[in-house]
Structure 1
Amino acid sequence: MPRIGQVLGIEGTAWNLSAAVFDDDLITLRSSPYIPPHGGIHPREAAQHHASVMKEVISDALADAGEITGVAFSQGPGLGPCLRTVATAARSLALSLDVPLIGVNHCVAHIEIGRFATGYTDPIVLYASGANTQVLGYLNGRYRIFGETLDIGIGNGLDKFARHHNLPHPGGPAIEEFAKEGSYIPLPYTVKGMDLAFSGLISAAKEADAPLPDVCYSLQETAFAMCVEVTERALAHTGKDEVILVGGVGVNGRMQEMLAAMCEERGAAFAVPERKYMGDNGAMIAYTGRVMLASGQTIPISESRVNPGYRSDQVEVGWRSDTGSIFAGARSGDLVRGAEAEVDLSGDDVVKRRLKKGYRHPHLDAMLIRERTRAEARIISAARRAGVATPVIRDLTADAIIMEKVIGSELKYVLDHTTAEKAGSAVGKLHTAGIVHGDLTTSNMILRDGEVVLIDFGLGQITGEIEARGVDLHVFFQTLESTMADAEDLKEAFLRGYRETFPHADDVVEREHEIELRGRYH
């Protein structure tokens, strides 16, 4: 085992070239950002900037350091030319100092420095940066992705909007300032289970003819509410009780306020790392490199090729000995709180009441409650008429549905090959009827007397579109991958049932694979 002392970390995945030295705490941190003269980041120009300031940045970082025992670098994901420039410098230093080389996943480094800085042990993580928007949690040796953007990262979306209005790069700070003087206007809100899509929102914001402060305000309110909603869905699904926010977009004060409000409503703890650890920085690479070095996770020079598509769930987290909690908050009692509603089980029937969300703008919140309540009742009734097992609707109000009580076990607690196949059969019947669920997780299926009953259709829709069906499968498969050790076998069992009841299953499976590839770095 190598001796653990001071580790040099070099970060340069995109616009910022940064180096730091970490021992038991941060010793030095130096950065030199690349500011494009116009437009967005140009990979080759950013790489040329990194190469031109590399010696100065690293020399400054090492000025107050002692003996270096390892060199860590951002191996990916990121812009290829930038990654290669940093990797070349790291290899040269490791060879000249005769110390181990550590290849660090950039996304995982954000999580680890966040855990270090907040003291949280097993949080749900909202990672919001230029290229990334992901909700993650740890389980059995990997950081699992519960949800992510299916098109652009939130930071890149904000930058696109900023460039359209000739605002400086990065666009987030300028948008935040304009938003302080703005008022709400409706903009598209797109949540697909625990996944998000920002393209429609950004396009609508660019085309809006309202005053710029109003558009900036509403863009933030809408985009951040989407992020907080999917974070809450992951929190409710897993039963974890801590949330941290990481990534450059996370410095936004409004996003922090919204997450804090959500966590307070749920009784969960929330924290944000110090600002110096939020954006891309060498400290997160040095710290993560140090814990990796302590667990023996180094790489030879011959295997140190950069990986622009390096996903966080590909990393073996050998430095953590715990398994991570999952489904820890098993439901008990007559009043149960889900991600967006409170369910009263005390009577002969169930009363599902959608709750006002303190983090959402009142107009947006009221619209979502009204539309989702009506849509859910309509879709449950349509699915039941089509032969899909659902609760029977008794009554409907503006914010609540009174329905049959389904006595059974949530599928996430009893999932095996047999129940997975039954779930696939139920979803196949649903899709045959031209209905998609919209939030197809194992929390929204109940096993009753050997039959899978589908519940919680709040994000559902009546459509025959193959895209929507593909998203349904993608949400379910993503849930399996983030929570189950035998996810692939369960997926195959699900597909056996799905193919038995839906004649166009293979077309949807193919589309689901296309949707998967839209996720970050597939």
Structure 2
Amino acid sequence: MPFSGQVLGIEGTAWNLSAALFNDHLCALESDPYRPPTGGIHPREAAQHHASVAASVIGKVLDEADDLQGIAFSQGPGLGPCLRTVATAARALAVARNLPLIGVNHCVAHVEIGRFTTGCEDPIVLYASGANTQVIGYLNNRYRIFGETLDIGIGNALDKFARSKNLPHPGGPLIEKFAVKGSYIDLPYTVKGMDLAFSGLVSAAKESRDSLEDVCFSLQETAFAMCVEVTERALAQTGKDEVLLVGGVGANRRLQQMLRTMCEDRGASFYVPENTFLGDNGAMIAYTGRLMLSHGDPLPLSDSTVNPNFRSDEVTVTWRSGERESRTTGPTNQGAEAVVTLNGHEATKCRSSKRYRMPGLDHRLLTERTRAEAKLIVQARSGGVSTPVIRDITRDTIVMEEIRGQQLKEVLTRENLTLTGEAIGRLHTAGIVHGDLTTSNLIIRDQECVLIDFGLAHATHEIENRGVDLHVLFQTLQSTTSEAAPLRAAFIKGYTATFDGAAEVIEREEEIIHRGRYL
């Protein structure tokens, strides 16, 4: 029998205390955000604000309830003091009214309310908010994280810059306003495979002596281009044909425009909810809580402890029956970054200009990545790594040996992952990190693993960069197969066999996994 009745949802992970009521539509929504007098969000002050307004906000929503069947709350991720305040209120209501309690993952709730309000089915999701920047897709009953920020969320990055210029919180809307009158200047661009980082970009923007308008414009252009690039990589990796933008930063019109342009060029559909459902709101908790309750997911009080680092890929998704059959987006020979043309025994890789990027940034990336790729392919071969042989190079084109074999994603076996581990071990021994270790860039040929696409590679002996290299691959496995654990173990076996520093790098990769995003 279809579930009927209303669910109350309470959101309070960070700045906004919000409550909503959902049955098969939104019945009521009330919010009272915390507005710091200066600086950014202070967790304890935000929690005190939530506690002071909770009765009023929740009470107004409950006034509209006539068939209340459950109480849902944001269990994490978020700021600990804020989460505990909301959880306490939810538990009290559930006990007082003898109703089931539902603990909702905040990130998953953003995705689900986005799917509900836009009508998209099985998208690649760019989740861009204050504390989170993730590229997410559904596979095997979980929302897998294809890539994410390695340091701070994009919203926090924009706010940090805004505070350095004495702009009030939140900084994003004001940066967007100043950017309208700005021009492009070069700023650091940090994409590492499917992951990205904003700290270096923010530091350079804060130190720039250019006009505020120019720095705001360039900060937006650079940060958003990084987000769109990793989203496009996920589209190319999975063959999905929908993109959904969620999170508070998603309200930025320039980010929406860039994603829409990328989707047009790849033949994908772009979706973004109305602003009411983009930022943190009670509706997303109530709606997702109702989905969970209708599929038998109530939460015992003993398990209702909050989790500030609750990841979306930890949630078993019981309310979705499966993936929509996807088609490959874009031409079959087009990856996220380049078009490869095969001619006899040669492969010509031509980097494509991206309409979503500013011409100056686009030209710089094409030139830098083409030159670096050719140089590092040669260095890797000298270190005993199997790579294509370079024939010729121009500003945006490399002519090289055609590698005939199967992409690792097509032959995910333990034996092949061990071969891959051996190859990456030799690469790291040579002082090179690949930077884009997805299963599309590893070719299995004649009992060896051949590395291609060195566009994000760089020379380094730093443990952190090596750890990120492994993290990109392991994250790709986690997001594309249910056999990630044994395949990871097989890779480590090969990696340890050819690289003396393997243990330290593996330990660092595990540390990267557990780093919280609410810093």
What letter matches 1:458 in structure 2? G
Match of 1:397 among 394, 399, 403: 394
Which residue number corresponds to residue 272 of structure 1? Answer: 272
What letter matches 1:329 in structure 2? T
Structure 2 SS opposite 1:402? strand
CA distance in 2, matches of 1:439, 1:349: 22
- 1:187 paired with 2:166, answer no
Which residue number corresponds to residue 235 of structure 1? Answer: 235
CA distance in 1, matches of 2:446, 2:419: 12
CA distance in 2, matches of 1:125, 1:38: 32
Structure 2 SS opposite 1:29? strand
Structure 1 SS opposite 2:181? coil
User: Mean Cα displacement is larger for which, 464-473 or 29-38?
Assistant: 464-473
What letter matches 2:196 in structure 1? L
Residue 325 of structure 1: CA displacement? Answer: 6.0
Which residue number corresponds to residue 419 of structure 1? Answer: 416
Which residue number corresponds to residue 209 of structure 1? Answer: 209
After superposition, where does 1:65-80 map in structure 2 within 5 Å?
A: 65-80=65-80
CA distance in 1, matches of 2:411, 2:238: 15
Structure 2 SS opposite 1:55? helix
CA distance in 1, matches of 2:368, 2:313: 35
Residue 3 of structure 1: CA displacement? Answer: 5.0
Which residue number corresponds to residue 497 of structure 2? Answer: 500
What letter matches 1:436 in structure 2? V
CA distance in 2, matches of 1:465, 1:71: 48
CA distance in 1, matches of 2:181, 2:505: 45
Which residue number corresponds to residue 224 of structure 1? Answer: 224
Identity %: 67
Q: Contact 1:310/1:521 (CA < 8 Å) preserved in 2?
A: no
Q: Runs in 1 of length 4+ with deviation above 6 angstroms?
A: none
Residue 324 of structure 1: CA displacement? Answer: 6.0
What letter matches 2:361 in structure 1? L
Q: Contact 1:421/1:495 (CA < 8 Å) preserved in 2?
A: yes
Q: Contact 1:311/1:521 (CA < 8 Å) preserved in 2?
A: no
CA distance in 2, matches of 1:388, 1:120: 43
- 1:25 paired with 2:22, answer no
Q: Contact 1:410/1:447 (CA < 8 Å) preserved in 2?
A: yes
* 1:199-246 deviations in Å (ceiling 9; x for gaps): 111111111111101110000000001111111111111111110000
Residue 285 of structure 1: CA displacement? Answer: 0.2
What letter matches 1:254 in structure 2? R
* 1:29-68 deviations in Å (ceiling 9; x for gaps): 1100010011111111111111111111112222333221
CA distance in 1, matches of 2:136, 2:354: 22
Which residue number corresponds to residue 291 of structure 1? Answer: 291
Residue 346 of structure 1: CA displacement? Answer: 4.4
Which residue number corresponds to residue 84 of structure 1? Answer: 84
Structure 1 SS opposite 2:490? helix
Which residue number corresponds to residue 45 of structure 2? Answer: 45
- 1:136 paired with 2:133, answer no
- 1:509 paired with 2:506, answer yes
CA distance in 1, matches of 2:267, 2:210: 37
Pair 157,521 (structure 1): closer, same or farther in 2 beyond 3 Å: closer
Structure 2 SS opposite 1:71? strand
CA distance in 2, matches of 1:202, 1:463: 23
CA distance in 2, matches of 1:163, 1:521: 18
Structure 1 SS opposite 2:440? helix
Give the structure-1-normalised TM-score: 0.97
Residue 101 of structure 1: CA displacement? Answer: 0.9
Which residue number corresponds to residue 338 of structure 1? Answer: 335
Residue 302 of structure 1: CA displacement? Answer: 2.2
What letter matches 1:508 in structure 2? V
User: Mean Cα displacement is larger for which, 278-287 or 477-486?
Assistant: 477-486
CA distance in 1, matches of 2:149, 2:195: 6
Which residue number corresponds to residue 160 of structure 1? Answer: 160
CA distance in 1, matches of 2:121, 2:23: 20
- 1:102 paired with 2:99, answer no
CA distance in 2, matches of 1:381, 1:324: 42
CA distance in 2, matches of 1:381, 1:43: 50
What letter matches 2:305 in structure 1? R
* 1:314-344 deviations in Å (ceiling 9; x for gaps): 1111111115668x6399x8x6000100111
What letter matches 1:417 in structure 2? R
Which residue number corresponds to residue 363 of structure 2? Answer: 366
Pair 6,330 (structure 1): closer, same or farther in 2 beyond 3 Å: closer
What letter matches 2:508 in structure 1? R
Which residue number corresponds to residue 262 of structure 1? Answer: 262
CA distance in 2, matches of 1:87, 1:3: 24
CA distance in 2, matches of 1:397, 1:337: 19
Which residue number corresponds to residue 488 of structure 1? Answer: 485
User: Mean Cα displacement is larger for which, 65-74 or 264-273?
Assistant: 65-74
Which residue number corresponds to residue 382 of structure 2? Answer: 385
What letter matches 1:147 in structure 2? G
CA distance in 2, matches of 1:364, 1:382: 27
* 1:100-119 deviations in Å (ceiling 9; x for gaps): 11110001000000111111
What letter matches 1:308 in structure 2? P
Residue 4 of structure 1: CA displacement? Answer: 2.9
What letter matches 1:497 in structure 2? G
Unaligned runs of 5+ in 1: none
CA distance in 2, matches of 1:8, 1:249: 26
CA distance in 1, matches of 2:206, 2:61: 41
CA distance in 2, matches of 1:329, 1:497: 32
Unaligned runs of 5+ in 2: none
Match of 2:459 among 448, 458, 462: 462
CA distance in 1, matches of 2:323, 2:336: 24
Pair 258,519 (structure 1): closer, same or farther in 2 beyond 3 Å: farther
Q: Contact 2:131/2:518 (CA < 8 Å) preserved in 1?
A: no
CA distance in 2, matches of 1:86, 1:387: 56
Q: Contact 2:224/2:255 (CA < 8 Å) preserved in 1?
A: yes
Structure 2 SS opposite 1:143? strand
Give the structure-2-normalised TM-score: 0.97
Structure 2 SS opposite 1:442? coil
Q: Contact 2:11/2:281 (CA < 8 Å) preserved in 1?
A: yes
Pair 12,499 (structure 1): closer, same or farther in 2 beyond 3 Å: same
CA distance in 2, matches of 1:193, 1:206: 26
CA distance in 2, matches of 1:278, 1:236: 25
Which residue number corresponds to residue 200 of structure 1? Answer: 200
What letter matches 1:421 in structure 2? T
